[in-house]
Amino acid sequence: MSGFKLVSRHNQKERTIVPVGDLSIGNSELCLIAGPCAVESEDQLDEIAQGISNLGIKFMRGGAYKPRTSPYAFQGLKKDGLKILRNTSIKYNLKVVTEVLDTSLIEEVYPFADVLQVGSRNMKNYQFLKELGKLDKPVLLKRGMSSTVHEWLMAAEYILLGGNEKVILCERGIRTFDTTVRNTMDIAAIPLVKELSHLPVLADPSQGTGKRSLVKPMSLAAIAAGADGLMIEVHNEPETALSDGFQSIYLHQMKELVDGIRKQAELSSRKLNLHSPIPEII
Ligand code: PEP
Ligand code: MN
């Protein structure tokens, strides 16, 4: 496989560590990003943020602009959602990971995000990738749902070529013949990308499977496969979630997940990057 230069491990042996403020993604400490699929209200995000920060988690996800299959589905709280994200993140000392849907929204989302998420549906929006290449903030680049690993790395190449080296890749499942699950989590892509590229790779088993009960086993598998961290959808009331409730774990499951991840990480001499000491549970 060839064609990519800047993202290739061939040209850069040492692994890229992406700084996010005072934190880093891609070092020997695993990064855990947790939060709802979408920001729905101040109360919702506050409860979730409190729950995850009690567990020592340092990164919070939450979409303010949502890319939905149906134009009739909840599209996100937009600017209000961004403000809620920022206020809540300050209160709980969490870094914000949120999606930027297209070039026209970069300016609006930029000040509210610590990491700019590029969704699966946008991985091949090359003009958008070029714009992200001009920024100085980390970009979390999801794998396109029907994209090969080569295409995914080429998408990252666009961002690096523009001058932004702070790229974090994220495997989020791909479309296959099997419709029993929403997506097929491509675990093999994780060690493959680590072989081919120096960029950090996270896994998102929530979009990756579309099923709550599969989130923990796939999280452990991703860590065992060498992922630098995980992005997990968690909700205070998944039944009433305005998006992706069926794949969002309950807050009380998060503690069990963190414990499992920590044990799995130790097997490969890695640590989970949490605020410590971890206080008693929610
Ligand atoms: C999400 O993280 O909620 C999301 C929409 O992800 P993806 O772009 O991977 O579908
Ligand atoms: Mn989602």
Digit-by-digit pLDDT tens for the chain (282 residues) are 568 899 999 999 999 999 999 999 999 999 999 999 999 999 999 999 999 999 999 999 999 999 999 999 999 999 999 999 999 999 999 999 999 999 999 999 999 999 999 999 999 999 999 999 999 999 999 999 999 999 999 999 999 999 999 999 999 999 999 999 999 999 999 999 999 999 999 999 999 999 999 999 999 999 999 999 999 999 999 999 999 999 999 999 999 999 999 999 999 889 999 987 555 554
Q: Alpha carbon of 17 to those of 26, 45, 268: distances in Å? A: 5, 29, 18
C-beta separation of 241 from 248 below 8 A: yes
| Residue of the CA atom closest to atom 10 of ligand 1 | 120
Q: Alpha carbon of 140 to those of 83, 176, 263, 280: distances in Å? A: 20, 23, 26, 31
Atom of ligand 1 nearest to the CA of 38: 3
C-beta separation of 262 from 278 below 8 A: no
Burial of 185 (0-12, 13-18, 19+ CB in 10 A): buried
| Residue of the CA atom closest to atom 3 of ligand 1 | 37
- Ligand 1 lined by 235 (C-beta under 6 Å): no
Positive or negative, the Cα torsion across 100, 102, 103, 105?
Answer: negative
